[in-house]
């Protein structure tokens, strides 16, 4: 194997140098994609990774480790935790735009789809290079409009309306989750993923989350349990999806995030810190031999 060191560009910044073995791992994980600019000693200028013969096809990378019973795992069976490559200011700007779009109601479907597409494009999923979200504004635009209108229910000052809105928000969130799961792709190919969680059960989790706020800290334990239930109900993947965070981890990190936001200036940094940590708590387990 070559002893070269590699550099690549991510988020407008130079990354590296990385030894050949680590760089090949970035290629396998999808961190370095066909359009990623790369450079190593001997190259006259930066080039797109896809333009370098043998680089994305594996080159001198080792083959997959044999599994019990023979054979090697395919890309769709690679295990590991998820991660996300997000830049500080684009994350803040898109998050603010998302909130404004929801508050203005009419732009809600457009800002939501744009936000989901951007977030998916930054995701690094083991064995799923060029991960993307392919949903369109016209798919379930009415769901986002209704959900945006629900955000104004607190100003109604009518307890009956507010109590009706809570389960409605849960049902709309369930519809959005199913829509997102069915519109994921890798390398331009649609993934056969669906979310099969029962609507009533999902609304029940939503209500439990609302009630747990009364306990001050109980929500921190409801979130991991809810996420694990969601993971168990994702079908169409040959790997098991796990959520690894504990209630205590969710509690202290969320409290730290809220405190950081209270000081305003640290918001961009604590937002990225929290999003990166949360995404990293999802992992894929290859099937048992």
* Largest separation between any pair of C-alpha atoms in the chain: 71
pLDDT of the residue at 114: 97
pLDDT digits (tens, 9 = 90+) for 173-192: 999 999 999 999 988 889 99
Rounded CA gap, 95 and 87, in Å?
Answer: 12
Rounded CA gap, 50 and 56, in Å?
Answer: 6
Contact 91, 135 (CB under 8 A): no
pLDDT of the residue at 261: 96
Cα angle 7, 12, 14 (rounded to 5 degrees) comes to: 25
DSSP summary character for residue 134: -
pLDDT of the residue at 64: 42
pLDDT digits (tens, 9 = 90+) for 124-156: 888 888 899 999 999 999 999 999 999 887 666
Strands (E), 27-181: 37-40, 47-48, 80-81, 83-84, 123-124, 131-133
Extract the tokens encoding 200. 């009533």
Contact 153, 167 (CB under 8 A): no
Contact 98, 278 (CB under 8 A): no
CB atoms closer than 10 angstroms to residue 135: 19
DSSP summary character for residue 48: E
In the numeric block, the tokens 């994305």 are attached to: 56
Domains of the chain: residue spans and CATH: 1-53 (3.30.1490.40), 77-285 (no CATH)
Q: Which residues of the chain have pLDDT under 70?
A: 1-3, 57-79, 154-157, 159-160, 287-289
What pTM, to 2 d.p., does this model score?
0.75
């Amino acid at each position: 194997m070559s002893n070269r060191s590699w550099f690549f560009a991510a988020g407008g910044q130079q990354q590296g140098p990385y030894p050949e073995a680590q760089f090949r791992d970035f290629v396998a994980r999808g961190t370095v994609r066909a359009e990623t600019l790369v450079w190593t000693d001997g190259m006259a200028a930066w080039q797109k990774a896809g333009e370098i013969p043998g680089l994305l096809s594996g080159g001198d990378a080792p083959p997959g480790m044999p599994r019990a019973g023979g054979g090697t795992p395919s890309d769709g069976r690679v295990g590991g935790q998820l991660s996300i490559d997000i830049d500080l200011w684009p994350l803040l700007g898109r998050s603010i735009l998302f909130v404004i779009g929801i508050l203005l109601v009419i732009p809600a479907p457009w800002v939501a789809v744009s936000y989901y597409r951007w977030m998916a494009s930054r995701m690094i999923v083991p064995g799923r290079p060029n991960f993307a979200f392919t949903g369109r504004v016209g798919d379930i635009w009415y769901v986002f409009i209704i959900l945006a209108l629900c955000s104004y229910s607190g100003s109604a000052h009518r307890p009956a309306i507010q109590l009706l809105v809570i389960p409605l928000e849960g049902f709309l969130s369930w519809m959005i989750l199913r829509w997102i799961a069915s519109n994921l792709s890798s390398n331009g190919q649609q993934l056969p993923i669906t979310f099969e969680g029962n609507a009533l059960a999902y609304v029940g989790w939503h209500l439990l989350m609302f009630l747990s706020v009364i306990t001050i800290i109980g929500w921190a334990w409801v979130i991991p349990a809810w996420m694990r239930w969601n993971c168990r109900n994702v079908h169409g993947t040959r790997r098991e999806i796990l959520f690894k965070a504990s209630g205590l981890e969710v509690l202290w990190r969320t409290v730290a995030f809220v405190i950081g936001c209270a000081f305003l200036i640290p918001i961009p940094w604590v937002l990225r810190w929290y999003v990166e940590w949360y995404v990293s708590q999802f992992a894929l387990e290859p099937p048992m031999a």
